[in-house]
Amino acid sequence: MQAGATDARRAAVLGSPIAHSLSPALHRAAYEALALTGWTYDRFEVDEAALPGFVDGLGPEWAGLSLTMPLKRAVIPLLDEISETAAAVDAVNTLVLGEDGRRIGDNTDIPGMVAALREHGVEQVDSAAILGAGATASSALAALARVCTGEIVAYVRSEARAAEMRQWSERLEVEVRIADWTDAAQALGFPLVVATTPAGATDALAAAVPERPATLFDVLYDPWPTELAARWSMFGGAVVSGLDLLVHQAVLQVEQMTGRSPAPVEAMRKAGEHALAARRDGRP
């Protein structure tokens, strides 16, 4: 049901830690652009232990929640329904409350990745590489299943990470070749490289960027650019950033929670850019 412009509705992002989240800036910008004057979007510090009580306390004014770490898996037992996309990676980043009070879980990270790539002209590739095998790598693998028609290679640091990636490969029914991190420079020659590693982890690879790189999807957005992304751009390659992902997954959340479509992508992007600039400058 489409939300009215003056309906008093609430939404929020939960996680721990949560003070860094850009979600309030993105969602509030969307509400303003859509003239949803009665809507509010907040952030709450909530850990796994506190999550059931928080969700049980949601009243009829609540439209939904955005969920970040460590809640993406912890919320699943609290749901009445979960999308196939979220079930595939065992991670929910979106909880929508239906009119009947049903709790519906979804994962907008995966289609958000696909949308961010499409925005940069990447519809399909014949091979791809993933740098890292942490929590984000499973979503990256699920997204690549939709855009990559050939080989996917994951470069990992340990056998434990390799085992995790093999499990995700089997679960998602996507064939993945595992390679050691010491050979990660080889990944940079692929048509699409998805970096899912923490800040600083790919800095040493910047010197290995080829003269004509293709597309890099670096899921980080703060600090930005990473050394790898900066070098990639300098050599003329296409770069998709973590902010692109954040915006597109939030776009899908706004559409689900408000019933309004399309969500205002550019207004949300500008709000994210402004919030990041303010953070870098030490402004509120």
- Enzyme catalytic residues: 72
Do the Cβ atoms of 11 and 66 come closer than 8 Å? yes
What is the phi-psi region of residue 69: left when phi exceeds 0, alpha when psi lies from -120 to 50, beta otherwise? beta
Phi, psi for residue 156 in degrees, rounded to 5: -130, 160
CB 249 within 8 A of CB 93: yes
Question: Taking the CA atoms of the chain, what radius of gyration do you get in angstroms?
Answer: 19
SS3 30: helix
The CB density around residue 179, as the number of other CB atoms within 10 Å, is: 17
What is the rounded distance in angstroms from the CA atom of residue 53 to the CA atom of residue 51?
Answer: 6
> Pick from 135, 49, 133, 131: which is nearest to 91 by CA?
135
Strand order of the β-sheet with 62-67 is: 39-45, 9-15, 62-67, 94-97, 103-106, 81-82
* Strand, coil or helix: 134: coil
According to DSSP, the residues that pair with 174 across neighbouring strands are: none
Q: Are 112 and 118 in contact (CB under 8 A)?
A: no
Whose CA is closest to 137, among 167, 105, 104, 180?
167
DSSP summary character for residue 146: H
